[in-house]
Copies of this chain bind each other. A is one copy, B any other.
């Protein structure tokens, strides 16, 4: 991964509200077992738990998608988010000091 893309990813995580948003999405994702179909991350619930407006959330989600950190899927009138695990793993490797 080139520096520019990496910087973009870190930028997407650089706002406290957006980072918390990301963590909430990751949290949901973590508890989603194959059998447990109802643990998807609905944006509606996040909006309630963070105290910033819906337009701002929408903006932040776009940024996270743009950095490829999450992907979204429309389910009726709801929006579902899930993290891009592979990218996060790449970022973790990038941060490890002895990255062969």
Contact = CB atoms under 8 A, between A and B. Distances in A.
Given A23-B3, A92-B96, A14 B11 contact: yes
Interface string A67-100: 0000000000000000101001001100111100
A10 B13 CA distance: 6
Most chain B Cβ neighbours within 10 Å, of A4, A13, A85, A91: A13
A14, A23, A26, A88: residue with the most chain B Cβ atoms closer than 10 Å: A14
Interface of A: 3-4, 6-7, 10-11, 13-16, 18-20, 23, 26, 29-30, 83, 85, 88, 91-92, 95-98
Given A85-B97, A97-B29, A13 B3 contact: no
Given A92-B96, A96-B92, A97-B88, A7 B14 contact: yes
Nearest to A29: B97
